[in-house]
Amino acid sequence: MTKRRLISKAARTALVLLVVLLAASIFSFSCTLAPSPPARPGDWGDSGKPPAGKQPELKAFFIDVGQGDSCLIIARTGDDREFTLLVDAGPGGAADEVVDFLKEVGVRKIDHLVFTHPHEDHIGGGKALLEAFEVGKVYMPRTTHTTEAYEELLLAIRSKGLTVTEARAGKVILEAKEFKAEFLGPAKSYEDLNDRSAVICVTFGERVLLFMGDAEAQAEDDMLQAGLIPDADVLKVGHHGSSSSTTGEFIRVSRPSIAVISVGPNPYGHPSKTVLDRLERAGVRVYRTDLHGTVEIVIRGDRLDVSTR
Ligand SMILES: [Zn+2]
């Protein structure tokens, strides 16, 4: 073994140790699957209460971050409360775009920030977001991962004085009148980081939106077997449209009318023709951030409108 390889091995060991210690210091994981406590008033956004009588509204933005994921939800619920939920931060290369986009649509505080899993295309923009915005709560699935991007994220979370709440099936993020955001996954523990993705179900009145992270067929199957997958209106397709996700059975049960694929130029062949064909055969309207740019869905009363920008 050369001296250089010895040094890089030592550096790698140091990184592993540092990340493990960091994670231990900021993850506030509970060991049991006890029911989640109800949302407290402090969990809500304090960015100003809208005038009474304003119509409930949910906006979901599937931000064009190139190859990666970042979805912003801004909701005004039936009991006149407002909050923001951000699912993933996109890759580091798109960090400035995500920060600018959030500012452009008026976000001042990210009330709930979920990192579905520790791959760079989902967490790379996290540090910049944590530096640019006040953040309420941070959620991640329980994982061990030892990349520099993950270390940087954990350091940024710690330097904000925040801890991490475990994302796992059954945990409720927020519940309000005609609104609920909860985790459907991970339903089990997996070796594979994609399958360990936090999967989120947002219910708004009669409408249901599913955010799959990079969950693949095994995780989908486990959620189906557990009866966790509801009829959905909107599906943020798992793993950028990879053929390893979005099985025929998953589409048959979730029955989305709209699917959004967050994807950019990539060497992996995302989105796969198999998945696109499957969605088409099921009559699902597909939007892709690489073709349409940022996709915006607005739900008000019975209306659900899709636009692109
Ligand atoms: Zn990904």
- Residue 49 CA to ligand 1 centre (angstroms): 35
Encode pLDDT of 97-148 as tens digits.
999 999 999 999 999 999 999 999 999 999 999 999 999 999 999 987 889 9
Q: Give me the pLDDT at residue 25, please.
A: 78
What's the angle, vertex CA 99, arms to CA 93 and CA 103, rounded to 5? 155
Question: pLDDT-derived band of residue 185, with 50, 70 and 90 as boundaries?
Answer: very high
What's the CA-to-centroid distance between 239 and ligand 1, angstroms? Answer: 5
| Mean pLDDT rounded to a whole number for the chain | 90
CA of 275 to the centre of ligand 1 (A): 16
Tally of helices (H runs) and strands (E runs) in the chain: 9, 15
| pLDDT at 132 (0 to 100) | 98
Do residues 133 and 110 make contact, with C-beta atoms less than 8 angstroms apart? yes
Domains and CATH numbers, the chain: 54-143+163-308 (3.60.15.10)
CA–CA gap between residue 40 and residue 281 (Å, rounded): 43
Phi, psi of 132 (to 5 degrees): -90, -25
Distance from residue 64's CA to the centre of ligand 1 (Å): 13
**What burial class does residue 59 get, using C-beta atoms within 10 Å of its C-beta: 0-12 exposed, 13-18 middle, 19+ buried?**
middle
- 8 A C-beta contact, residue 285 and residue 255: no
263 alpha carbon to ligand 1 midpoint, in Å? 9
Determine the distance separating the centroid of ligand 1 and the alpha carbon of 95, expressed in angstroms.
15
Residue scoring higher pLDDT (8 or 85): 85
172 SS3 class: strand
User: What are the tens digits of pLDDT across the range 231-253?
Assistant: 999 999 999 999 999 999 999 99
Could you give the count of Cα atoms lying within 13 Å of 144 in the half-sphere of its Cβ?
Answer: 8
What does the alpha-carbon distance between residue 209 and residue 191 come to, in Å, rounded to a whole number?
Answer: 27
Residue 274, helix vs strand vs coil: helix
